Structure 1
């Protein structure tokens, strides 16, 4: 029997890598952009490209200062090169996900050994949350990719010989990662890595690390990357610094100003789901960090502190969203990979059993959910749920099959254990992508993208206005390549509208007057209405005709083109 490990076969590793990349890049464009994040950041980049203003960020034509510009810059650059589209809007986050996988593979090989590097790439690349969020156009993966760069740079630098070229270059990568993380999502890009460094020093009582940070060169690099934009936007928009640094950082963390609170255990389900298919080794991987008492630099302890502190930080924050804990997964991947290497075949068996149980739980949960659908369920939601069920069933069945196969393989030699890890990674990755792909019809419904052609038919002139009455559609402006005029609902653009009040219509009565003026002048106009508002306007004989309607919105045009 051939006992050669797949880890020792370049041909096998290349084949797996190519297959993984083909699926990875295909999935970037396989689904509609789903609100809110995906539509928002695609539209902001489109507006940036259309306006030529790469300094003042805007959403729906309105100043939008919640986050720094890196992701918008990268998306706008992608649109410049490849044109507008779904995969183009997700390319930056997809590349950040791959960057994280490559970074942990390189770092695991440098600070531990080659086998741990390969396993850590398998773990991270197949983890449900990392692989899934890499295919979502949101800031969380952009931040996570850059923070992974800073973490891995620090680990490699501190593991290298003192004053060596590797130490210097790796620390500069760390500083660059913090700078780009700051440009991705704000001050947490350097505050969180800095806090981890302080905690690690306090726990290990090892101050030598501070003499190896290359702080002079690092600070020059950090401010060279971050300072220019912050200075320029403050000069052009004096209101930016207070809103960005106080409201978006201090107020967001200490209060529920954004209405995104959650209990202290909010992130535990996302951690458990996110690490699938490796849930069976999560605690053991974390424990390996506790047991790192080697003299000198202790990389596993730093990884544990990274996971624990980031998880704690976001758990006590007044603002919580599922993607916030993404930066912990690269550190978890390295810890789990180290545990796999040290503990024989047992961890692979545990991971396999947990994946089988997850698959069984998925099928059981799906069955219970379908039974809850009844005559009171909205017809569209009912149809979408029925349509989605086979995809979720397939993903669950794949988890069961992959877990069983991996369990049988893990009973043999080391080479078979390595194959079992590959099977686990493949099953988990494919199951996650199948679940994502099957959600697309629901995503189209949420985005309203099925109505794009109907709306475009009514856009008879380039200046035909689209009003958003009582709601704001995050994805449609991107697909229509056209901003909307907000009516009585500022949504998340309230701050910008306080400084540019001429860009919206605060009162419905004024909208009605303006709509009638369009009608009287023979000018076409479109409105996307909240359903209750539509019913009110309908009773008042509002001059409109419905061009699309569902339980989320009603899209109407005036009567100028009624014979179309």
Structure 2
């Protein structure tokens, strides 16, 4: 177990730096933290120098702290989410061990550490794992505190950890961090009729701890920015939940479908695991029912939302992992054999399907080339699933239960890492890092850098400086209402400044789309192409880079 834990931690940490930060989320949250680190302002969060209040600051704080200690970089930007993923696995395994027994805890850790969605979210710099890690602290602490055999001091301490986890979840992503656990507790009480649980929450001390952790930033940011509370609490939490303005719509079964790949390699035991959660246990506290309520309610809650993204359901995976562990511990040999067989079938089917799926999804030859470069990684992942499934089948046939579960977990763990590592061939194109050498060779501290009609989230982070937005609002709409001088609202304004600077010998550069370049060329705007790829282009208002002037600007 110690060897497995050490290997899990080392490989997880190593993989954090294998890939470029992919826009939009990874670049956005890295840049918010970089600007916090550079400015020293840990209260007013900014993106591209513009006030950005869509999310609370926990992830920005942790990333800025990482940048302070280790410097700027890809793995540094992902370190917090990686740690949250590992903490979630450890808390899930520990809660499973104390509440259900050693083998159940061991299985729960293996299931969660190898589930595709959980593992992938821990390798991506977004808020999903930050929220999920804190909510797992809340869930695991509640389970440990409320078990019937818990001593009074243990119950108090673990409940305080639960309250702290909720407070950190609020700082990670907002009121959702307290609304979801609170609603789960209410529903659990109604279904289980365990009314006495409310007397065991240590609510007095817990609320004091909760508000001591969660409220200072909200007070400080509101004092500096009076416009923040209404935007954050009303628009972000209610209006956004109910409308489709962010174009993240999905059918009511959207998350049900995503559970199938998300819970790989354990989908064969998912229905039975959920069904087992209904079984009533001896004693007043019903941990299985609490886990089932947690998973089902959060799934339904986000299914009702008009805004849907795959990462929203990551918080349910610790509960699913514990339920799956309980089922795997009690399941007969044929069920283990079924799980292993389905894994082998999925691996074989993926080996056959990947070349056809990639070819059919490519929109042009250049994209097909990138997908073909990604194909060997996907084929390797499929081969791992196939080999793991076949080996697990043999072990299941021999009734070697622990080794069967371990082999399935290892197959899922390494297959997911292969999928993530290989995505670099696609991710670096999305980030636009191929433009950086030419752009940085000509860019100086005195150069005006515009972004016309687009905003490249990752490029801004890698350039270590904001850009001047032109005809672009999107997530900056609220911030630009407060500070409209930080952007140019129209392309005509940009053309006027760009042309005037060109005539005065002032060096300007701009990041634009290929379509925008064609429009500017038709208008006769003076420009020279510095670099381009299939998605965007960098232009300069100089016909030729002047070496002498460049040196003066650098000085």
| TM bucket, shorter chain | over 0.9
Structure 1 residue 370, shift from structure 2 partner: 4.1
Report the CA distance shift for 1:79/1:373 in structure 2 as closer, same or farther (over 3 A): closer
Q: Please identify, of 226-235 and 517-526, the stretch whose mean Cα deviation from structure 2 is larger.
A: 517-526
Q: What secondary structure, in the 3-state scheme, does the structure 2 residue paired with 1:556 have?
A: strand
What is the CA–CA distance in structure 2 between the aligned matches of 1:258 and 1:369, rounded to whole Å? 28
- Checking the alignment, whether the CA contact within 8 Å between 1:522 and 1:560 is kept in structure 2 is no
Equivalent residue number for residue 8 of structure 1: none
User: Structure 2: where are the runs of 5+ without partners?
Assistant: 548-555
Q: Please identify, of 100-109 and 359-368, the stretch whose mean Cα deviation from structure 2 is larger.
A: 359-368
Equivalent residue number for residue 270 of structure 2: 282
What is the CA–CA distance in structure 1 between the aligned matches of 2:412 and 2:361, rounded to whole Å? 28
1:43 alignment partner, one of 27, 31, 49: 31
Equivalent residue number for residue 395 of structure 2: 409
- Checking the alignment, whether the CA contact within 8 Å between 1:519 and 1:560 is kept in structure 2 is no
Structure 1 residue 360, shift from structure 2 partner: 2.4
- When the two chains are superposed, the root-mean-square deviation of aligned CA atoms in Å is 1.4
Question: What is the TM-score with the length of structure 2 in the denominator?
Answer: 0.96
Matched, 1:33 2:21: yes
Alignment of 1:284-363 (within 5 A): 284-363=272-351
2:226 alignment partner, one of 235, 238, 252: 238
What is the CA–CA distance in structure 1 between the aligned matches of 2:478 and 2:115, rounded to whole Å? 37
1:152 alignment partner, one of 135, 140, 147: 140
Q: What secondary structure, in the 3-state scheme, does the structure 2 residue paired with 1:284 have?
A: helix
- Checking the alignment, whether the CA contact within 8 Å between 1:277 and 1:354 is kept in structure 2 is no
Equivalent residue number for residue 553 of structure 1: 536
Equivalent residue number for residue 446 of structure 2: 463
Equivalent residue number for residue 94 of structure 1: 82
Structure 1 residue 178, shift from structure 2 partner: 0.2
What is the CA–CA distance in structure 1 between the aligned matches of 2:97 and 2:57, rounded to whole Å? 33
Matched, 1:542 2:528: no
2:67 alignment partner, one of 70, 76, 79: 79
Report the CA distance shift for 1:126/1:491 in structure 2 as closer, same or farther (over 3 A): same
Equivalent residue number for residue 551 of structure 2: none
Q: What secondary structure, in the 3-state scheme, does the structure 1 residue paired with 2:451 have?
A: strand
Matched, 1:486 2:469: yes
- Checking the alignment, whether the CA contact within 8 Å between 1:524 and 1:557 is kept in structure 2 is yes
What is the CA–CA distance in structure 1 between the aligned matches of 2:333 and 2:402, rounded to whole Å? 9
What is the CA–CA distance in structure 2 between the aligned matches of 1:92 and 1:537, rounded to whole Å? 42
Alignment of 1:256-267 (within 5 A): 256-267=244-255
Q: What secondary structure, in the 3-state scheme, does the structure 1 residue paired with 2:455 have?
A: coil
- Checking the alignment, whether the CA contact within 8 Å between 1:266 and 1:315 is kept in structure 2 is yes
Q: Please identify, of 32-41 and 352-361, the stretch whose mean Cα deviation from structure 2 is larger.
A: 352-361
Equivalent residue number for residue 550 of structure 2: none
What is the CA–CA distance in structure 2 between the aligned matches of 1:220 and 1:94, rounded to whole Å? 29
Equivalent residue number for residue 424 of structure 2: 440
Report the CA distance shift for 1:244/1:171 in structure 2 as closer, same or farther (over 3 A): same
- Checking the alignment, whether the CA contact within 8 Å between 1:545 and 1:562 is kept in structure 2 is no
Structure 1 residue 561, shift from structure 2 partner: 4.3
- Checking the alignment, whether the CA contact within 8 Å between 2:134 and 2:168 is kept in structure 1 is yes
What is the CA–CA distance in structure 2 between the aligned matches of 1:480 and 1:406, rounded to whole Å? 48
Structure 1 residue 162, shift from structure 2 partner: 6.2
Q: What secondary structure, in the 3-state scheme, does the structure 2 residue paired with 1:327 have?
A: helix
Q: Aligned residue pairs: how many?
A: 547
What is the CA–CA distance in structure 2 between the aligned matches of 1:492 and 1:531, rounded to whole Å? 22
- Deviation string 1:124-145 (CA, Å, 9 cap, x unpaired) is 0010110111000000000000
What is the CA–CA distance in structure 2 between the aligned matches of 1:162 and 1:425, rounded to whole Å? 31
Question: What is the TM-score with the length of structure 1 in the denominator?
Answer: 0.95
Equivalent residue number for residue 454 of structure 1: 438
- Checking the alignment, whether the CA contact within 8 Å between 1:352 and 1:406 is kept in structure 2 is yes
Equivalent residue number for residue 498 of structure 1: 481
What is the CA–CA distance in structure 1 between the aligned matches of 2:211 and 2:123, rounded to whole Å? 30
Alignment of 1:53-202 (within 5 A): 53-161=41-149, 164-202=152-190
What is the CA–CA distance in structure 2 between the aligned matches of 1:148 and 1:200, rounded to whole Å? 17
Equivalent residue number for residue 217 of structure 1: 205
